[in-house]
Amino acid sequence: MLLTGRNLTKHYGPRLLFSGITLGITEGERVGLIGANGSGKSTLLRIFAGLEQPDEGELVARRGLRIGYVPQEDSFDPDATCLDLVADEIDSHLDDHERHIRAGRLLDRAGFTDSCATTKTLSGGWKKRLAIVRQLAREPDLLLMDEPTNHLDVEGILWLEKIITNGNFGTLIVSHDRRFLENVANRIIELGRAYPAGFLSFEGSYSNFLEKREEFIEAQRGREQALASGVRREIEWLRRGAKARTTKAKGRIERANEMMSDLADLRERNTQSGAARIDFTASDRKTRKLVELKHVKKSLGGRELFSDVNVVLSPGTKLGLLGPNGSGKSTLIRLITGAIDPDSGDIFRADQLRIVLFDQHREQLDPNQTLRRALSPGGDNLVVNGVAMHVTGWAKRFLFRSEQLDMPVGELSGGEQARVLIARLMTQPADVLILDEPTNDLDIPTLDVLEESLEQFPGALVLVTHDRYLLERVSTEILALDGKGAADIFVDLAQWERARDEAEKAEKKTSQAVPKPAAEKPKPSPEKKRLTWNEQRELEKMEATILAAETEVETLQTKVADPKVMADHVQLHEAYEKLATAQHEVERLYARWADLESRK
């Protein structure tokens, strides 16, 4: 056993987070820690890291245990270099030169191209990578991470998955990223008062946990029903005037009281689960083309972000935006909203277009404003979808307690701030709904409800997220930016993953190719093989054959851009498959033409 927490209890002010928690982490375990916002996951992680003390209980650690801890928010000296920060975490018994050599190797493996860069030049995703690398440099026996996929792009998450699954250390990870949990965890623990021990734990993948949890909850509900029947029988017995003069009668009365107490406890646990109710309001506009981008190109700071972007947003279109940090996703959003103009190309927007934007930086929220005014700026009463309601009821719908209404928004947790922003967006009818990283800090129950709402939203949706599960479930098509100028449309995430894997294999094959020594004499060219009569005829017709193949490619490209085809997942997938085949055929024909010409 690496680390065990015994009878841990912790309050946050007057509110109880958890009580009597006893759990441990063993060698080789990769534990995913989940639970609703406010259940105490981050606090429990800090207690395990030794950064916070429990109100009650104790930690028992293996002798000499080395712990690494990656917090949810990264904090670095802005003028420090990546190399120095990592070197500082390496074994102090080594000399400075050796520590810096090791630090450089770690940073290189993590994808850093400039290890001497200062942290103020890093994006949020690269800062997160740096925070993880620093803790890996400590060679921990147990690595604790709090929402490590926040701010990482998909490539960064894939890198982290490899680090964890190939690591020789135990891990305890707080995360709401379901695909990430499915890929890395071999045990899931959920904190929650719905469970007798204060948590529920099962070995296996996240999907296995979901099955086991459903069975547990169903059994707990069955026990409540059985206990309720028993309590009703005891109440009837008591109503008949049972006398407590005999020992047997006294015992039965005591058992009846215990059953009533157990039933009350079970009922409370079975009603603990809850999620915010999310329902975005569409304008019900029937315009076929809400936004259209034609051959759009944009550069920033002298670097081309993307070019030749062609996208049509219609009612029902759900466009997922994918790409590494800095590839231009946020810039593309600003182009769609009209905040900036393209370098070239055209953008059409329908008249009086209503765009509603969820900003990942949450700049629309005033940290000094109370929750009450953030949810209902015009007073304590508001109208949502034509229904009048009080701000207290509106707050409750998003799992806020009435005593929180006068708290400043800046004092709310990240997940609570995200729910405030979603609540505000729900009051605004939208033709186009743009969500820029909406999943950061949201708990899994809220994510499930968010997905259902987005699936049912009848307007156009643009979704930027690193949550692959959400992308897979919601998107009707994916626009992938590679950060090098390319912008490609994919039918789904699986098609993008296949294309990425093929590109990686090709790049690896190229990098592994060994060039011939410079001194080696070129081998004499073999005698050219003359064209046969059939090959001569083939060469004569080649130009016409290539022209026909290129015409087929153009026809299929037009079909792929057709809004009707784009709106039909099946048709779009078939069109892309045919387009890829046609493009390969053009490439084959050109190669064949070159070969025939060389042998004339």
Across the chain, mean pLDDT equals 83
pLDDT higher than 80, residue 332: yes
Tell me the residue type at 559.
K
Alpha helices in 240-367 (DSSP H): 247-270, 329-337
DSSP line for 456-475:
H--SEEEEE-S-HHHHHHH-
pLDDT in tens, 421-469: 888 877 888 899 998 888 877 788 778 878 888 888 888 999 998 888 8
For 498-521, what is the mean pLDDT? 68
Nearest alpha carbon to residue 320 among 504, 455, 126, 123: 455
Mean pLDDT value of segment 63-92: 92
Between CA 114 and CA 81 the distance in angstroms is 10
- Confidence (pLDDT) at 282: 67
Q: What's the mean pLDDT in 373-393?
A: 86
Q: Edge-to-edge, what's the strand order for the sheet holding 15-25?
A: 15-25, 3-12, 56-61
3-state secondary structure of 550: helix
Cα–Cα distance, 419 to 395 (Å, whole number): 10
Residue 407: CA count within 13 A, CB half-sphere = 15
Q: What is the pLDDT of residue 247?
A: 56
Is residue 154 within 8 Å of residue 322, measured between CB atoms?
A: yes
Q: Enumerate the β-bridge partners of residue 359.
A: none
Percent of the chain with pLDDT over 90: 38
> For every residue of 223-263, which 3-state class applies, written as one string?
HHHHHHHHHHHHHHHHHCCCCCCCHHHHHHHHHHHHHHHHH
| 151-172: pLDDT as tens digits | 888 889 999 999 999 999 999 9
Cβ-based neighbours of 560, under 8 Å, separated by 6 or more: 489, 566, 572, 575, 576, 579
- Give the CA angle between residues 432, 434, 437 to the nearest 5°: 165
Please report the pLDDT score of residue 544 as a whole number: 81
56: left (phi over 0), alpha (psi -120 to 50) or beta: beta
What torsion do the CA atoms of 558, 562, 567, 570 make, to the nearest 10 degrees? Answer: -40
Calculate mean pLDDT across residues 69-75.
Answer: 90
Report for 171-180, 261-270, 514-523: range of highest mean pLDDT: 171-180
pLDDT, residue 149, reads 92
Q: Which token pair is 232?
A: 């009703």
pLDDT at 576: 59
Among 233, 195, 172, smallest CA distance to 27 is for 172
> For the segment 474-486, what is each residue's pLDDT rounded down to a tens digit?
999 999 998 788 8
Distance, in Å, from the CA atom of 554 to the CA atom of 560, rounded to the nearest integer, reads 10
Rounded Cα–Cα distance for residues 452 and 237 (Å): 48
At 582, list the tokens: 């046609």
Yes or no: say if 363 and 357 are a contact pair by the CB < 8 Å rule: no
- What sections of 475-532 are H helices per DSSP? 493-512
pLDDT of the residue at 519? 45
pLDDT on residue 443: 80
Write down the pLDDT at residue 522: 44
